[in-house]
Structure 1
Amino acid sequence: MIFLLLGFLALAVGGCVCVVWAERGGPRWVRVVAFITRTAGELLSSGQKSRGRGSNTADDGD
């Protein structure tokens, strides 16, 4: 389980490094990885926003 979490952490950090490197004009493969990282982040962000809508109702327990 820990190795799986470390793998996800390594992918996330590597993706962030590629995004920064691509902004500074890195090689083509870095720009591709950066594009994938940004797209995945936007998809996850939009999924959380749409999931959160309508669920902000107060539950009084009545």
Structure 2
Amino acid sequence: MLVFVLVGVLVLVVGGCVCVVWAARGGPRWVRGVALATQAAGELVRLSGRRGRRPGSDRLGSDSDA
């Protein structure tokens, strides 16, 4: 069951990326809407990952770079 969920998420991600590229080349209105939603979701994921970090944890020479 978990495999089907992961495959579904992968299909949505790949489809969203295709829509972003297609919209950049002047696709139809619905493609631009999907591309906008994909970019907004990506931005939310990026911001949520940044919010969970401690200040200074991404400095050079930290233990996580090993």
Q: TM-score range by the shorter chain?
A: 0.7 to 0.9
The CA deviation at 1:50 is: 1.4
State the partner residue of 1:17: 18
Structure 2: runs of 5+ lacking an equivalent: none
Q: Measure the CA separation in 2 of the matches of 1:45 and 1:53.
A: 15
Structure 1: runs of 5+ lacking an equivalent: none
State the partner residue of 1:31: 32
State the partner residue of 2:45: 44
Per the normalisation by structure 1, the TM-score is 0.84
Greater gyration radius: 1
RMSD: 1.6
